Each structure stands twice: as C-alpha cells, then as structure tokens.
Chain A
C-alpha cells in the first residue's frame, strides 16, 4: 500500500489517521460517559486528565490530518452517487472534521473556565487561554455535553452509511478505508 491516497483508495497515512482518531474519539467518549457521575476525588481528576489528554491528542491529530488531506486529496466518490448523497456525505464529513477541532477546543476552554488545569498525559499542563468564569463554565459544559452526543450520533450515521455502501450498494466506499485491500 502506498502512503498517499490514489484515485481509488486511501493511502496508509489517511487510513492511519482515520482509524487512530476513530479509536481515540470512541475511547474518550466512553470515558466521558463514565466519568461525569463520579464524586470529586483524586481518581476522578485522574480520569478527567486522561479524557483531556486524549482530547488534546485528537485536536493535534486533527490539525495534522487536515493538512495531510490538503496535501493528498481524498479519492473521488463513485460517479453514480446521487447529488443528495454527495451533499450528505460532504456535510457529514465537514461536520466530523469540525467536531474534531471544536469539541477538544471547547473542552479546554471549559477546563480553563472551571479553573481546572489541562494536564496532557502527566507531562505538561496547557497554559490557560481564558480565566476562571463560573457562568461561562456552565454554558461550555452544556455545549460540550451536547456536542459530544451529537458527535456520537454522527459517528453512528457515518458507520451506517459506510455499511450501506458496502452491503447494500456494494461499492468500494467502505473498502477504500480498510487496510490491505486491493480490488
């Protein structure tokens, strides 16, 4: 397999970004669903720090991934896709990318507003972008929670669309993101 995308398949780099980010996003959403109900304790802070560390990693990867996508464009969609399908695919992909940037950024701002440091894998703490702000913290908390749920919903839609392409439409859309496959 090649590193770069070709006109039919995603290359190793794009596939690596996709599956690594997918694993990190699902992991950190899973942690999020578990952690919010915990009573405040050192262990809760550790779990939050893990959630934040993964989130910051996702944000960094999103930057690299977008740069790579510009350098190595995605393979074109099948010619027989309906316009509404193209629009839906485009909109959902733009939304997924947007969330990869927005959700971690809002999380960091929420931590700043809540006056809790963002420690990345125990190595370094991010400098605070904004100061403590109890009202803003409440707003960001609600936004982060609902964007997270929206993210999960969008991922389900994304997976359902891929499965539809593979099993119903029987095209290469899903296969082109799977490693080691060459038709």
Chain B
C-alpha cells in the first residue's frame, strides 16, 4: 500500500525533477505501475522474519511537472490477495481476527505532500511522502521515506521509467490488526515493516 503510494510519489518527484517533463502548466501527467512492482511486508513471527506480498493493488499516480502541490498518489490494496507462502497464515490474515477482508476488503495509502530529502543530479534521490494509511477502518497519518531512481525504460526506449523503494514501520495494533487472541504480540510482533518496490512508466508515452 505504502509501496504504491511511494511509487506514485516517486514518480511525481521524478517528473518534477527529471530532465524530461516538458508538459505545460496544468497538464497532469500520469504514471502507470509496471509488472515487477511489489507491495509487501515483513512481520516478526516467533522472532523470525516472515515476508508476504499483496499480489493485487492499484495505484493512481499523478504528477504535474514543476507543481508538486497538485501531485497526489492513491494506492488501493486488495488485502485478500495476501501471499505469505502459507495458506493457513494467509487465511488467518484475511480473517476477522486480523484484517477482516469481508468487512474491509481494501487497505489504502494516500499522499498529497512530498518532500525531497536529498536530491542527486538527474532527478534521483531520497524523498518522503506524507500521507494517510488506512487498514481496516483505522486511518492514521504516516510518513513514507523512499528512494527514487530514473532510467530509460529497458523495453521502450525513449520512455522514462522510475523505481521507488521504501520501507515504513507501523504498529499493527494501532490499526486494530489483531483482535482478541491476536492482540498478543509475543508471537507476532506489533511492529510490521511495510516494504514497497514500485516500477512505473510515464503513461501515454
């Protein structure tokens, strides 16, 4: 979720700072998420890391060159698409005790503010996305740091492709992800790292 958001942010930033981005004022540019993108998490179970991904997510990434103020990213994750390499665990993650996908099928990340932490020549750099993360029915403000890089699209010369990589640590119980017995953090830790690795290209190119 954050990943998508980060990706979107990254794209926006990239467009803003990249040598490309010649669009006229008010002409919003869209970025399209590409295969190979990943939105996942690393949880601690019994003191060992357990990784999972959300196989289905959608991201709306808009970037107006030179006008970050109108840029925004919205990522919607299909929580039921979780894959942690264990059907038993995935089923539990979907259940009412954790994400309750029957009631709240989506998780969402939205951000409208982006900050450059460190800029490098060519538009690469480190950024922060300031936004909101919604899990179940709880929405909280979060800051997603991410690293952004640009290159020519390997399959489509002339098209710009951006890659955004970031991590965001959240406390699952802040969002109610863990009801009843699952409020126990001795087996599954409260802190979960959301990891994103988003590839996106300029839409319409």
Contact = CB atoms under 8 A, between A and B. Distances in A.
Interface string A150-164: 000000000000000
A32 interface: no
A42 interface: yes
Contact of A117 (B46, B84, B92, B97): B46
B-side interface mostly: mixed
Interface string A15-54: 0000000000000000000000000111101100100000
A46 B187 contact: yes
Given A42-B187, A125-B46, A115 B181 contact: no
B137 interface: no
B48 A125 contact: yes
B87 interface: yes
Given A41-B181, A42-B188, A134 B46 contact: no
Choose among A41, A42, A125, A132 the residue with the greatest number of B CB atoms under 10 Å from its CB: A42
A-side interface mostly: mixed
B48 to A, nearest CB: 3
A105 interface: no
Q: How many A residues touch the partner, as a band?
A: 10 to 19
A119 B49 CA distance: 11
Contacts, number: 50
Given A42-B181, A42-B182, A46-B187, A114 B47 contact: no
A85 B201 CA distance: 76
B86 to A, nearest CB: 4
A122 interface: yes
A114 B85 CA distance: 7
Nearest to A116: B86
Q: How many B residues touch the partner, as a band?
A: 20 to 34
A43 B188 CA distance: 11
B61 to A, nearest CB: 31
A114 to B, nearest CB: 6
A45 B185 CA distance: 12
B153 interface: no
B89 interface: yes
A3 B128 CA distance: 67
B45 interface: yes
A115 B46 contact: no
A45 B45 contact: yes
Given A43-B181, A125-B46, A134 B87 contact: yes
Contact of B89 (A40, A43, A119, A125): A40
Interface string B86-124: 111101100001000000000000000000000000000
B47 A117 contact: yes
B87 to A, nearest CB: 7
Nearest to A119: B46
29 contacts: A40-B91, A41-B181, A41-B182, A42-B181, A42-B182, A42-B184, A42-B187, A42-B188, A43-B181, A45-B187, A45-B188, A46-B186, A114-B88, A115-B84, A115-B85, A115-B86, A115-B89, A116-B45, A116-B50, A116-B89, A117-B45, A117-B47, A117-B48, A117-B50, A119-B46, A119-B47, A125-B48, A132-B85, A132-B86
Top 3 A-B pairs ranked by shortest CB distance?
Answer: A117-B48, A132-B85, A115-B85
